[in-house]
Amino acid sequence: MSADRYDVIVIGTGPGGAALAHRLAPTGKRILMIERGDYLPRSQANWDAKTVFVDAAYQTKETWYGKDGEAFHPGLHYFVGGNSKVYGAALFRLRERDFDEVKHEGGISPAWPLKYDTFEPYYAQAEQLFHVHGARGEDPTEPPSQTPYPYPAVAHEPRIAELDATFAREGLHPFHLPLGVLLEEKNGVAAPASPWFRNDAFDGFPCLLNGKADAQVMCVNPMLAAHANVTLLTNALATRLETDPSGRTLSVVDVLREGAQERYCADIVVVACGALSSALLLLRSANDRHPHGLANGSDQVGRNYVRHNQSVLMALAREPNDTVFQKTLGLSDFYFGAGDCDHPLGLIQMMGKSHPEEIRAEALPEWLSWMPEMPFELMARHSLDFWLMSEDLPRPENRIRIGHDGRVILELTENNMRAHQRLRAKLEHLMDAANAHPHLLERKLYLGKDIPIGGTAHQAGTARFGTDPAQSVLDLDCKAHELDNLYLADASFFPSIGAVNPTLTIIANALRVADGIAERLGATRAISGSTEDRTCRG
Ligand SMILES: Cc1cc2nc3c(=O)[nH]c(=O)nc-3n(C[C@H](O)[C@H](O)[C@H](O)COP(=O)(O)OP(=O)(O)OC[C@H]3O[C@@H](n4cnc5c(N)ncnc54)[C@H](O)[C@@H]3O)c2cc1C
């Protein structure tokens, strides 16, 4: 079977793959995007909490296995736009110190081989591309930046403004969350032409308005509309990558599409399937020259998997919380430590408000006994909802691999959990000041039912970049050490994950990798100046 030939093939249309392709599109090079999923169907069900969280209708039904053989469904979403179709769009830069070695209570977070100053200009471009709203200078751990946020912060609604004031009275420095939304607003009211308006079905939901800055809306749609040189294949699963006999050059991408096997080739292949699926694709592509998986002479592919120690917590306030869009406030005062602890604890941020259907479906026996007469609707009305994130540390034994019987096995041993527990205790203490019950209630459905192992939303670190081919899979350009034309452009390159949401770093790095590829293709001039926002409709 002969193979169709392209200049560049990009596998995966999540933020990594889509941002990279969007950057390369103006070069006029023939680009093929290969996506295993379809477009996420737009329907009223997108905004139904039962459909999204209880039935997990958009999550993959794939079964993977833990190290003890326990079956679970990973919290992954296979659509054009990848996991960003359901993400919360909190778009953070890693802190400057996250690029250095950081000592944690539970061990060491290793240094990155490139530092913040390399990424800074790309962060600025990523913020532009994904319409980030925010306010510089509020977040005490924010790294230096050359540019303001492209769009003003999304204002707090009254109850969240109160919480902001409470935290400030406690001597803390709450800030407006950096958010990727297509919002034009005056005094809390959306302008008539604003694509997005405040609603309570954003965080974890697909956006019915196409007003969330996801990879499909910000990159794939405008790119396909403007560039005939880019082709997208949907429902196309990349099953294997083949090399030439030398093993140095990737020659063919095998694809299963609508039941038929197809073959594509390109001068350059970029894998951006999400950190877990990218590692799987490399492992499944073992051949004589790469007996343990493609680019895996170091035995590092799939290892050092990180995904944050994370909790979704709900407090019940004494007064009702009628906030519609709650995800506007963050707190980083404990990011690198606290008065009573020298080690990093992590980040606190608000998230979407609890819906009664979600609360009803959670297994919450302890706190039901606290207020048995309180119906779920009332609990939802009184809830204050938080997302807590602490760093988990890369360990070679935390890995994704393929078992002898072809099963996918995700081996995970939690670490550095004491920091996360301390962070939770800090929030509990603060809830007293916020006139809420200090007992925080765990909500698991947001991340999928199979927590902790199924909590793959922030997947990273399975093919880290570095200078030493014995310790890393990718070089500093995110090209595989062992192949001349294979690049990775998702979070697999992360040597560590910090404690901020990962996607802005994925996008920034994908733009950086794209620039390296453009240079290699002799097409740098074509993309200079192409970072302006073409999707602004405000
Ligand atoms: C509920 C939820 C909330 C989140 N909230 C936030 C947030 O607020 N802020 C933040 O920064 N991050 C958030 N995230 C994480 C964020 O979604 C991911 O960091 C981001 O989507 C990763 O981008 P990616 O391109 O690396 O991978 P993905 O988004 O996973 O995209 C990979 C793509 O590759 C496709 N693919 C996989 N394998 C193959 C194959 N073999 N062949 C072809 N195609 C393939 C997949 O279908 C997918 O479209 C959240 C995630 C979830 C699930």
416-466 pLDDT per residue, tens: 999 999 999 999 999 989 988 878 888 877 777 677 899 999 999 999 999
CATH class held by domain 4-527: alpha beta
pLDDT for residue 527: 78
pLDDT at 533 > cutoff 50: no
pLDDT at 65 > cutoff 60: yes
With a 6 A CB cut-off, is 88 part of the ligand 1 pocket?
yes
Residue that has been written with the tokens 């697909």 in this structure: 206
Residue that has been written with the tokens 């951006």 in this structure: 272
pLDDT for residue 537: 32
With a 6 A CB cut-off, is 14 part of the ligand 1 pocket?
yes
Pairing assessment for the beta strands 4-11 and 31-34 based on DSSP bridges: parallel
Tell me how far apart the alpha carbons of residues 93 and 466 are, in angstroms, rounded to a whole number: 20
Tell me how far apart the alpha carbons of residues 14 and 214 are, in angstroms, rounded to a whole number: 8
Strands of 85-235, DSSP E: 102-104, 107-109, 132-134, 151-152, 175-176, 179-180, 185-186, 189-190, 230-233
Mean of pLDDT values over 59-84: 97
What does each C-alpha distance from 124 to 135, 303, 372 come to in angstroms? Answer: 14, 30, 49
Tell me how far apart the alpha carbons of residues 92 and 101 are, in angstroms, rounded to a whole number: 20
SS3 427: helix
Mean of pLDDT values over 16-31: 98
Residue ranges per domain, the chain? 4-527
Report residue 376's pLDDT band, with 50, 70 and 90 as the boundaries: confident
Report residue 530's pLDDT band, with 50, 70 and 90 as the boundaries: low
Tell me how far apart the alpha carbons of residues 383 and 111 are, in angstroms, rounded to a whole number: 39
Best substitution site from 271, 277, 462 to test ligand 1's pocket, by max atoms within 8 Å of Cβ? Answer: 277
What does each C-alpha distance from 107 to 332, 341, 345 come to in angstroms? Answer: 21, 15, 13
- Segment of 4-8, 444-448, 510-514 carrying the highest mean pLDDT: 510-514
Strands of 27-70, DSSP E: 31-34, 64-65
SS3 506: helix
Report residue 403's pLDDT band, with 50, 70 and 90 as the boundaries: very high
pLDDT at 372 > cutoff 80: no
Give 255-305 pLDDT, tens digit per residue.
999 999 999 999 999 999 999 999 999 999 999 999 999 999 999 999 999
With a 6 A CB cut-off, is 281 part of the ligand 1 pocket?
yes
pLDDT at 532 > cutoff 60: no
pLDDT at 111 > cutoff 50: yes
DSSP code of 5? E
Report residue 307's pLDDT band, with 50, 70 and 90 as the boundaries: very high
SS3 17: helix
SS3 per residue for 444-474: CHHHCCCCCCCCCCCCECCCCECCCCCCCCE
pLDDT for residue 535: 37
Cis peptide before 452 (omega within 30 of 0): yes
Q: What is the DSSP string of 361-418?
A: HS--HHHHTTSTT--HHHHHHHEEEEEEEEPPPP-TTSEEEE-TTS-EEEE-----HH
Asked whether the whole model's pTM tops 0.95, one would answer yes
Mean of pLDDT values over 176-203: 96
SS3 270: strand
With a 6 A CB cut-off, is 454 part of the ligand 1 pocket?
no
Q: Which of 215-219, 339-343, 366-370, 466-470 has the lowest mean pLDDT?
A: 366-370
Mean pLDDT computed over every residue of the chain:
94
442, containing H or E segment: strand 441-442
Ligand 1 centroid, distance to 13 Cα (angstroms): 9
**Using alpha carbons only, what angle is made at residue 81 by residues 75 and 86, rounded to the nearest 5 degrees?**
45
pLDDT at 531 > cutoff 80: no
Tell me how far apart the alpha carbons of residues 510 and 75 are, in angstroms, rounded to a whole number: 23
Ligand 1 centroid, distance to 496 Cα (angstroms): 18
pLDDT for residue 368: 58
Give 85-100 pLDDT, tens digit per residue.
999 999 999 999 999 9
Tell me how far apart the alpha carbons of residues 346 and 333 are, in angstroms, rounded to a whole number: 9
Mean of pLDDT values over 518-525: 92
**What residues pair up with 383 in beta bridges, in sequence order?**
316
With a 6 A CB cut-off, is 13 part of the ligand 1 pocket?
yes
pLDDT for residue 285: 98
SS3 264: strand
For the CA atoms of 174, 180, 183, 189, the dihedral, rounded to the nearest 10 degrees, stands at -30
Q: Are 305 and 403 in contact (CB under 8 A)?
A: no
Give the ligand 1 atom nearest the CA of 491. Answer: 26
For the CA atoms of 18, 23, 26, 29, the dihedral, rounded to the nearest 10 degrees, stands at -70
pLDDT for residue 58: 97
Ligand 1 centroid, distance to 10 Cα (angstroms): 15
SS3 212: strand
Q: Whose alpha carbon is nearest atom 35 of ligand 1?
A: 12
Identity of the amino acid at 64 = W
**Cβ within 8 Å of residue 113, ≥6 positions away:** 465, 466, 467, 476, 495
Mean of pLDDT values over 215-227: 98
Ligand 1 centroid, distance to 95 Cα (angstroms): 22
Q: What share of the chain is helix, strand, coil (3-state, %, to 5)?
A: 25, 20, 50
Q: Are 421 and 326 in contact (CB under 8 A)?
A: no
SS3 per residue for 304-366: CCECCEEEEEEEEECCCCCCCCCCCEEECCCCCCECCECCCCCEEEECCCCCHHHHHHCCCHH
With a 6 A CB cut-off, is 308 part of the ligand 1 pocket?
no
The tokens of 6 are what?
A: 């392209």
pLDDT for residue 370: 59
The radius of gyration of the chain's CA atoms, rounded to the nearest angstrom, is: 22
pLDDT for residue 452: 83
Tell me how far apart the alpha carbons of residues 141 and 378 are, in angstroms, rounded to a whole number: 36
pLDDT for residue 534: 36
pLDDT for residue 448: 72
The tokens of 316 are what?
A: 């019940």
Give the ligand 1 atom nearest the CA of 281. Answer: 41
Tell me how far apart the alpha carbons of residues 410 and 402 are, in angstroms, rounded to a whole number: 9
Q: Whose alpha carbon is nearest atom 4 of ligand 1?
A: 87
Give 159-176 pLDDT, tens digit per residue.
999 999 999 999 999 999
Tell me how far apart the alpha carbons of residues 457 and 299 are, in angstroms, rounded to a whole number: 24
Q: Are 371 and 131 in contact (CB under 8 A)?
A: no
